[in-house]
Structure 1
Amino acid sequence: MGNKKTLVLGASIHSFRYSFMAIHSLVEKGHTVIAIGRDQGDVAGVKIQNKKNPLEEIDTVTMYLNPRNQRDYYNYILETKPKRVIFNPGSENPEFYPLLESHQIKVEEACTLVLLATNQY
């Protein structure tokens, strides 16, 4: 599988949130994680940022924002040039898919936690 540098969008410090669980699982499986969210704090040793700093060599963006809140990140994601964006349950955004695909970014409607647990990440 190897290390897939992953950006978690919509990261949370709250243990009941799926983004929190995903960060833990990604770190556990040896992936490099960058997390962006409103919360201040650390999750599994990953500091949650609240700024859209330029990023390079991102393999995957895993989305935990509802479609309305994703709009602020459209250009940021396109500029980051990930290989794929995973839209976790509740974050599905058909409006955004054609834009991603036109930039050769793969769209996946899936659950990051399930992909990690079944070694399909």
Structure 2
Amino acid sequence: MKRTLILGATSNPSRYAYLAAQKLRTYGHPILLLGRRKGTALGEEIHLDKQDWKDVDTVTLYINPSHQPEYYDYIISLNPKRVIFNPGTENPEFKSILEDKNIIPIEGCTLVMLSIGQY
């Protein structure tokens, strides 16, 4: 079980971040939700403020690279094993910062990774 923070979480069931939350739950991975709009997803609160979560294995990004810098220090402070850059979130600058902090950056798709057993 990999405790996963979904950054860019949404209550809109047609968005990839919501589908990822759903599939992570289906595969038994606990989810933490942080988004830019108040709401709930799968009965879980979407937090607007950065939380002091512990034991975060993975951060999966669903936010545009232009919004990522405000989360750099926060994500690093969570000390995840890896950060997944889903399609459209790729960010060479942040990838390099993560590598310097011994956090594995992965350019991939959370949904695909789950589906093929590579999560």
By how many angstroms is 1:56 displaced?
1.2
* 1:5 paired residue number: 3
What is the percent sequence identity of the aligned residues?
A: 46
Q: Aligned partners of 1:113 and 1:39: how far apart in 2?
A: 22
Q: Aligned partners of 1:41 and 1:20: how far apart in 2?
A: 12
Residue from 31, 46, 55 that aligns with 2:53? 55
* TM-score, length of structure 2 as denominator length: 0.97
Q: Which stretches in structure 2 are left out of the alignment for 5+ residues?
A: none
Runs of 4+ in 1 over 4 A off after TM superposition: none
Give the secondary structure class of the aligned counterpart of 1:95.
Answer: helix
Q: Which amino acid aligns with 2:38?
A: Q
Q: Which amino acid aligns with 1:97?
A: K
Q: Which amino acid aligns with 1:12?
A: T
Give aligned pairs, total: 119
Q: Which amino acid aligns with 2:23?
A: S
* 2:88 paired residue number: 90
* 2:70 paired residue number: 72
Moved more, 108-117 or 41-50: 41-50
By how many angstroms is 1:46 displaced?
2.0
* 2:25 paired residue number: 27
Q: RMSD between aligned alpha carbons? A: 0.8
Q: Aligned partners of 2:46 and 2:117: how far apart in 1?
A: 25
Q: Which stretches in structure 1 are left out of the alignment for 5+ residues?
A: none
CA displacement 1:21-57 (0-9 Å, x = unmatched):
0000001111110010022222122211001011211
